[in-house]
Amino acid sequence: MKIEQFEDKGLSHYSYAILSECENKIVLIDPSRDITPYLSYAKAHEATIIGVIETHPHADFVSGHLELQQVTGAVIYCSKLLGAEYAHQTFDDGDELSFGKIKLKALNTPGHSPDSISIVLEHNGQDKAVFTGDTLFIGDCGRPDLREQAGNLTAKREELAKQMYHSLRDKLLVLDDAVRVYPAHGAGTLCGKALSDANRSTIGAERAGNWSLQEMSETEFVQTLLEDQPFIPKYFAYDVALNKHGAPPLQPALAGVLAKKPVELNSEMFIIDARPEQEFKKGHLPGSINIQDGGKFETWLGSIIAPKEAFYLVAENEEKLKQVIGKAAKIGYEAFLEAAFVIDGGHEQMAELNFAHFAAHPEQYTIVDIRNEAEVKAQPVFRNALPIPLYELRERLAEIPFSKPIVVHCAGGYRSAAGSSIVANAFDSKTNVFDLSEAIKKFIS
């Protein structure tokens, strides 16, 4: 028996292949949209993928479960509460899937979502591992506030938080301390708030060190879980619905993207420019937003651009363009791409901030702090800054006065490249807009 963990660093996502070596059969858990790694793993082990388990309809990425079923003939397993719109086998409390010497046992563990399940792996008659989806993370548990308006079953965050309290204690903490814990996410995901950098653990280690498993009342737990949760990106509800239906196959979807510059660009559509900020500031096309290709490109694309909002995507070369189109597809946004093409500049530019003057006279600027609320609360930087989180910036531009030059900052420079470009699109003809960029580090210790 082997357990293979696959990691998507950009989305802090873990998926799994469980291999029965005696029967050469594989069951996958929570696969990414790109099914190539799983097919390659099966081929390398001369094994057949017989099943795909969805622990819940994911909000932060598009799953490849339906394409895997279409390509391999594997059965998809999920909770009956999910309301899946594809062919599937329900997998709830008491249900089991056996292959070789492995038995997979379903546990209904609502909390992150009403339809969440965890899967206990029994090998040779002994519980060896549990795949906890977004219920139990390493050092944390799943957030309960993503299903108030999404999915087959909706539920208030307070109700789900109470369910999480009991799922953790009544379903998972009763497992032996030696049982290994394999979650669907690691540090950096927006599906929790305080995850460890570790990619696996044990029930015993989590019992000792995970805040959500400590002795406390249900009321205390609910209050702690609900406070300071991160923001909810615009695309989350869309991906829940897409995963409930099943996404179209990836390669045909990518082939459908127009990968060349149109003769005429629609000025009503934003251009997502994925080039490095230095290149963007030297020259870009009108109506561009600088979301640099980096570790969190997918998250910020789906936080700034709303589902079903058509947009253009540009990069500095064909290789980079292919890469960012693929990242857009991870969250199902290839469907909204009007066109994607390579550019080497443009007539629009962003002026460089006179840092010495700004540092000496910050009161002569309108300073927009686009960090998240918790960041601003934990570490204020400029006394009179206007706090507007990046994910709300487009909707709150009218709150920004333009009687003075505008300086946009975040915590490290990545987000302010996007934020300053959004503000510049709205105000550049009325006042100068500057990106404080990495110079913010001179003000944050």
pLDDT in tens, 366-399: 999 999 998 999 999 999 999 999 999 999 999 9
Strand partners, 77: 53, 89
Q: Which residue has the tokens 């007539």?
A: 347
Read off the pLDDT of residues 157-206 as tens digits, 9 standing for 90 and up.
Answer: 999 999 999 999 999 999 999 999 999 998 878 878 677 788 999 999 99
Phi, psi of 117 (to 5 degrees): -125, 155
Residue 278, judged by CB atoms within 10 A of its CB (0-12, 13-18, 19+), counts as exposed
How would you classify the pairing of strands 75-78 and 89-90?
Answer: parallel
pLDDT-based confidence at 149, cuts 50/70/90? confident
Q: Quick count: other Cβ atoms within 10 Å of Cβ 302?
A: 24
Distance of CA 409 to the CA centre of its chain: 23
Region 67-88 average pLDDT: 97
Q: Quick count: other Cβ atoms within 10 Å of Cβ 22?
A: 11
Q: Do the beta carbons of residue 434 and residue 407 sit within 8 Å?
A: yes
DSSP SS3 for 76 = strand
25 vs 425: CA distance, rounded Å: 54
pLDDT-based confidence at 154, cuts 50/70/90? low
Element (H, E) at 323: helix 318-330
205 vs 181: CA distance, rounded Å: 9
Q: Which residue has the tokens 């795949």?
A: 131
Read off the pLDDT of residues 214-256 as tens digits, 9 standing for 90 and up.
Answer: 999 999 999 999 998 889 999 999 999 999 999 999 999 999 9
DSSP SS3 for 193 = coil
pLDDT-based confidence at 151, cuts 50/70/90? low
pTM of the model: 0.94
Read off the pLDDT of residues 418-434 as tens digits, 9 standing for 90 and up.
Answer: 999 999 999 878 899 99
192 vs 385: CA distance, rounded Å: 28
149 vs 143: CA distance, rounded Å: 15
**Residue 111 region, left (φ>0) first, then alpha (ψ -120 to 50), else beta?**
left
Read off the pLDDT of residues 307-347 as tens digits, 9 standing for 90 and up.
Answer: 999 999 999 999 999 999 999 999 999 999 999 999 999 99
415 vs 290: CA distance, rounded Å: 9
> Buried b vs exposed e over 178-208: b needs ≥16 C-beta within 10 Å?
ebbbbbbbbbbbbbbbebbeeeebbbebbee
pLDDT of residue 153: 64
